[in-house]
Structure 1
Amino acid sequence: MSSITSASDDRQIAVHASDRTTAPEAPAPVKRPRLYVLDGLRLIAALGVVMWHWVGVERFPAVWHGKPSELMPTAHLVGAYSWTGVELFFLISGFVICMSCWGRSVGDFVTSRVVRLFPAYWVCVLATAACLLVVPTIWGDNTHRPTLSRILTNLSMVNMPLGVDNLDPVYWTLWAELRFYLLFGIMVAIGLTYRRVLAFCGIWGVFALLAAQVNIPLLTAIVQPVYAWYFIAGIAIFLMYRFGANLLLWGIVGFCWLMAQDSLRGVVGGYEYGAEHRLSWSLTLACTTIAFAVVIAAALGVFDRIQWKWLTVAGALTYPVYLLHQEIGWQLITRIRPHLDPYPTLAVVTAVMLFAAYLVHRLVERPLAPLMKRKMDASFAQVRADEAPGGARRRKG
């Protein structure tokens, strides 16, 4: 999820970049300090999803050797609603992707997403596959053991449209993010301006409304009528951050909130299936509203004084924690739980996951991302050179 992914360097460039592509009608850009708080919010969102899978889900009592609601009533109450961290992820993603793309080329956009998403993803897919292949599953059968083909297809990150199950169920948000990148990448190719981004938000919203009424699977797949409102709201909130708030932007964000609360009616049922009890729509709406509020507050400068650089490290852990925590985390819990009480088990497994995430960041992302970026930048530079008049002939000569 790119809210799931970090864009710290991209944000730093984008905030201070000159607005070469902004239309004359756009408000003047407002210089803002770097938003370290977004990294902290991303980690909070990730830990919320972790809590949902570890203590909110009741369908797999073998994980805890009992039901979390009985072993940890308070933690289960929190976990039963902390899946709303996904909505916070998507809001931040809309904000950060728009910010990191402003004034940059399609090649820059593609490069930034590939080098940020894939190195950690490949390692985490292989680690999860090894876990599912080597360790007996908690369900006591072999139905969850992946085939080689399934592993290889998962490495592409586009297994879902091919009908191949995710190795870890949490990967579903990555497919949602990729579809958002596809749509926004078209806008990057056209050129980002204040007016064009506003038009993009409006057009996407209209098609999201239409997709909810017509039975066209391709349209639904592209515009994501359930989650589109979080991405659109995040984009509009970034425009508040860059150009200042106005009635039009408040209207877009408010409309997205209205649509989001409506879509919750259909979403909550799926989470009730996992929690095995009714969930309060009011509490769910409150969590979603808080997600909107904190991102808006960050954009309007409420958290500008928070300049803690360690939040960058915290944000860097978000993506690998998210990728690793469910299947591998369940395996750790079910083996540690017989030796520790529930809450100490939760603390130990959380610490292990955070440490594993740090290793992935330090040993995989940090060395591989710059290398991949140099190679991809060189490739796009060659494409541009070949497209220049006489470029291909010069290279042959």
Structure 2
Amino acid sequence: MERTRQFNAAVHGLRGVASIMVFYAHLLGGAAEHVYADRTAYVDGIVPFWNFGTYGVYLFFAISGFVIVPSVIRYSIGDFAIRRFWRIYPIYLFFTLLFICANYATNLIPEVNTPLAIVAGLTFTNILVGTEQLTPNAWSLTYEVMFYGLAATVFYFVVTRPSKLGAAVAVVLAIAFVVKLPAALFFLIGMGTWYLHSRKWVLPPSVKPWLEMASLVALIAVSSQGHFGYYQPEMRDPVALGTMAATAVYFYFAVDLNSLTSRALNLRWVMYLGTVSYSLYLVHPYVYMPMRTVFIKLGLFTDNIPLSLAFFITTVSILTLIATHFTHIYLEKLPYQKRFNKDVFSPHKLIPIKAGVPTNE
């Protein structure tokens, strides 16, 4: 029997927080690498912010793990695939084609200017053939799509149409995915969090706020200490392992409907950032990289680094948010609405779910 529950403001808000983390990490890190590379104090000073900002991608992975489980349960495997396609592919295709055309004209990145790299990028098989993804930031979408496919397939052969052979193959492929690419463990963190909350395995209210705050402080502290792709050799690094552990603990507390995170992020502008987070994630490189070139050519990066960066970040932020808004409306929201006659998200509305924990598709 389905029950209605409140939209999860923490999960939705954390989408926006993660996208902003990545955005500003790229602004600060790009300036360190391409503008002020000889300013050691600046380069060294932004390292913790760069580390913490790029961690936002892995926070996205945990969020995906949390929201995908109920979608896999709710829909048939075909409906699930169709909904995922219309959720992520139209906007991804637009920016990928834009990248392909630009790279063909300039040949700035010749290694992905090949038929194999282009086909692999468009089909999210780049990891399998050893090529790079195309449009900036899209490497994470390959991880996402592989996770979607494996999660849906495992559930199909284990629950929907039980098959020992199918389940065995699906589970082996899922294990291989995690072993080969340990960053996938963040998806499992999200899935595990969903499971614990769906079974109402929660701690007493008297201790949850304190543990949530402590785990958030620990997460910020440890994730700012290292920059990882979470590949196999890096999994021996205590900072990488600590970041995963802190993510698991904090995320467990944060997604509770009455968490401090939920109350702090349940603001209109944060909900908006959560709604446009996917567009922001894909749009911002196409704004900040050209604007960085413009600022360099106009000599707007001066010896006054704080003032120059304030002007640069403000300009890029305004232009990026404008571009993000229209991209979300016409490339993300409109195709989904045309196909399913509903919005991608419906913040602050009661929505039907099949488990005892609120979730957002």
Partner amino acid, structure 2, of 1:357: T
Q: State which drifts further: 232-241 or 165-174.
A: 165-174
Maintained 8 Å contact 1:48/1:85? yes
- Whether the aligned pair in 1 keeps the contact of 2:193 and 2:248 (CA below 8 Å) is no
Q: Is the 8 A contact 1:103 1:192 kept in 2?
A: no
Residue by residue over 1:299-321, the C-alpha shift from the partner in whole angstroms, topping out at 9 and shown as x without a partner, is 33314545445444212322122
Task: Give the aligned partner of residue 33 of structure 1.
Answer: 6
- Residue 143 of structure 2 corresponds to residue 170 of structure 1: no
Structure 1 CA distance for aligned equivalents of residues 294 and 148 of structure 2: 39
Match of 1:252 in 2: none
Q: How far apart are residue 238 of structure 1 and its match?
A: 0.8
Q: Match for 2:95: what amino acid?
A: C
Q: Which amino acid aligns with 2:53?
A: S
Quick check: 2:90–2:335 contact (8 Å CA) kept in 1? yes
Displacement of 1:160: 3.4
Relative to 1, partners in 2 of residues 1:322 and 1:154: Cα closer, same or farther, differing over 3 Å? same
Distance in 2, Cα, partners of 1:80 & 1:346: 18
Shift of 1:361: 0.6
Counterpart in 2 of 1:79? 50
Distance 2:192 2:129 in 1: 32
Corresponding residue for residue 186 of structure 1: 153
Quote the Cα distance in structure 1 between the aligned partners of 2:40 and 2:22.
17
Task: Name whichever of 88-97 and 127-136 sits farther off.
Answer: 127-136
> 2:112 touches 2:132 (CA, 8 Å); kept in 1?
no
Aligned to 2:183: 227
Contact 1:55 1:68 in 2 (8 A): no
**Secondary structure at the residue paired with 1:170?**
coil
1:154 alignment partner, one of 121, 127, 131: 121
**Residue 236 of structure 1 aligns with which residue?**
192
How many residues align structurally? Answer: 299
Aligned match for 1:317, one of 276, 282, 288: 276
- Counterparts in 2 of 1:253-264, with a 5 A limit? none
Q: Is the 8 A contact 2:12 2:271 kept in 1?
A: yes
Deviations 1:14-43 (A, max 9, x none): xxxx35xxxxxxxxx8x6421122122112
Report if aligned partners of 1:88, 1:292 keep a CA contact under 8 Å in 2. no
Q: In the alignment, is the contact (CA less than 8 A) between 2:283 and 2:320 conserved in 1?
A: yes
Give the AA of the match of 1:339: L
Contact residue 102 and residue 192 of structure 1 kept, 8 A: no
Aligned equivalents of 1:348, 1:286: Cα separation in 2: 36
Following TM superposition, the consecutive aligned residue runs of length 4 or more in structure 1 with deviations greater than 6 angstroms are: none
Aligned-residue Cα RMSD (Å) equals: 4.0
Answer whether contact 2:72 2:155 (CA < 8 A) is retained: yes
CA contact (8 A) 2:77 2:156 kept: yes
- Kept in 2, the 8 Å contact 1:69–1:77? The answer is no
Task: Select 2:68's aligned residue among 72, 97, 104.
Answer: 97
Q: Distance in 2 between matches of 1:328 and 1:145?
A: 21
Which residue, out of 299, 317, 330, partners 1:350? 317
Per-residue deviation, residues 305-364 of structure 1 (Å, max 9, x unmatched): 454454442123221222233465333223224325123212322332232222211111
1:169-204: CA deviations, max 9, x gaps?
Answer: 5222111112211221124424769xxxxxx9xx96
TM-score when scaled to structure 1? 0.62
- TM-aligned CA deviation for residue 72 of structure 1: 6.3
Q: CA deviation at 1:118?
A: 0.3
**Alpha-carbon separation, structure 1, partners of 2:315 and 2:339:** 34
1:367-386 counterparts in 2 under 5 A? Answer: 367-373=334-340
Preserved contact between residue 103 and residue 113 of structure 2 (Cα < 8 Å): yes
Indicate how the Cα distance of structure 1 residues 69 and 49 shifts in structure 2: closer, same or farther if over 3 A, else same: farther
Shift of 1:94: 0.6
Output one character per residue of 1:125-158: Cα deviation in whole Å (capped at 9) or x when no partner.
1233344455795xxxx64783576445533333
Q: Name 2:29's counterpart in structure 1.
A: 56
Kept in 1, the 8 Å contact 2:22–2:56? The answer is: yes
Q: 1:270 to 1:282 in 2, by over 3 A?
A: closer
Q: Which amino acid in structure 1 is aligned with residue 146 of structure 2?
A: R
Alignment of 1:212-361 (within 5 A): 220-221=176-177, 224=180, 226-245=182-201, 287-301=243-257, 302=259, 303-305=261-263, 307-326=266-285, 329-337=288-296, 338-340=299-301, 341-361=308-328
Call closer, same or farther: CA 1:299–1:287 in 2, change over 3 Å.
same
Whether the aligned pair in 1 keeps the contact of 2:228 and 2:240 (CA below 8 Å) is no
Kindly tell me: are residues 95 and 150 of structure 1, through their superposed partners in 2, closer, same or farther at Cα, counting changes over 3 Å? same
Does the CA contact (< 8 Å) of 1:119 and 1:364 recur in 2? yes
1:51 and 1:82 in contact (8 A); partners too: yes
Larger Rg: 1
Distance 2:229 2:199 in 1: 38
The answer (yes or no) to whether the contact 2:279–2:328 under 8 Å persists in 1 is: yes
AA partner of residue 284 (structure 2): H
Note if contact 2:64-2:187 (Cα within 8 Å) is conserved in structure 1.
yes
* Percent of aligned pairs with the same amino acid: 21
TM-score normalised to structure 2 length:
0.67
Distance 2:72 2:29 in 1: 36
Partner residue in 1 for 2:100: 129
Letter in 2 for 1:46: S
How many angstroms apart in 1 are the aligned matches of 2:277 and 2:141?
Answer: 13
8 Å CA contact 2:15–2:274 kept in 1: the answer is yes
